[in-house]
Structure 1
């Protein structure tokens, strides 16, 4: 009788999906207090970077290690960004109640600013998860610059961020039907996709050791 070969595309894909689910569950748990959402997101990216780079990793161990290590820096970034996000939501809501053309202009500005927010925050945390920064705000700035330098990867990031809200707006019943997917697959899958899209830029930064210090080499 032939031995079962587990080193094939099917089992590798199932293992990858399992890692996405585990990452997503950890992210959801980490986001429950809200104030810890920044640290939870950074920790997901810390694991996703290792996955994208083909490094050895253990999802739960590496997530918890990054969460403890970078909690302060991630929270310092997250709380002002959360306040800004709430302000953008308020601007969009208020713009919908102002007659045209000013209402449309305000809503358009809010949407454009939200897209910049998504790129800056997601890529900034992804960089902070991989590298040591003396100033946390530099990670946001560098994240936005890198995103704009790689438009395909930036577009992928925006699509992954907008997808749940687009489904919620266009087909609410489908959104709630897919709620387990949004919560327990998409966060981990999104971080993995973004980390893979960022990989060329991250590889370039990894060779600039005069400024960027790898987190694993300098815990």
Structure 2
């Protein structure tokens, strides 16, 4: 009898197996939606903000639909996320290109490589809060950048941990390319748990 109850609970809609399958499905589908939304390259920021829009609702335990909410977040945040995301993408791409180019020029340019790495780290650090803020609050671009910078350094442990997680997942994806099917959305989900703990200190009304 006990064994039957355990098996029934395991496979029920409230059971851990069902919840795990739903999590895997949502992570895969949101990763796919993010990839499709990012195809023009300059819209990577828009897709990322839409991803945080969905996961923000999930973490706050609000009702959500991965498809309709992703599209809603994509449309509503387009004007703000597009320019910021495009600039971030260009800066990161240019810095990474410079690192590889400088690496071929010898040890005399190690300090320039270090400077490029510093720029990349700063951009990633601030970006931890940029897109969740876009997904959560309607603010001017300058205010988004200013508040993201303040939050990134005021909560440096969380922002640095999020950057470290991103780097670790990138390295893991290089080792296991199949994880690329889940990579972006998995990172967004985990980082949202950290970020929401910070944002709820400053946002009174949970939406």
Range with bigger deviation, 110-119 or 57-66: 110-119
Q: TM-score, normalised by structure 1?
A: 0.81
Aligned residue among 193, 196, 201 for 1:199: 196
Q: Contact 2:128–2:163 at 8 Å: present in 1 too?
A: no
Distance in 2, matches of 1:167 and 1:88, equals: 22
Q: Give structure 1 stretches of 5+ with no counterpart.
A: none
For residues 164 and 24 of structure 2, what CA distance do their matches in structure 1 show? 20
1:147 is aligned, of 148, 152, 158, to: 152
**Does structure 1 residue 12 correspond to structure 2 residue 19?**
yes
- The alpha carbon displacement at 1:84 in A equals 1.4
Deviations 1:18-69 (A, max 9, x none): 2111111100111112122111111001011111111111111100001111
Query: 2:169–2:183: 8 Å Cα contact kept in structure 1?
Result: no
RMSD of aligned C-alpha atoms?
A: 2.2
Moved more, 22-31 or 118-127: 118-127
Deviations 1:144-164 (A, max 9, x none): 322322333223321232135
Question: Relative contact order (C-alpha < 8 Å, sep 6+): which is higher?
Answer: 1
- CA distance in 2 between counterparts of 1:189 and 1:140 reads 24
Query: Mapping of 1:59-98 within 5 angstroms?
Result: 59-98=66-105
Q: Which residue of 1 aligns with 2:164?
A: 159
Inter-partner Cα distance in structure 2 for 1:104 and 1:94: 11
2:120 alignment partner in structure 1: 114
Q: Tell me the CA shift for residue 165 of structure 1.
A: 4.2
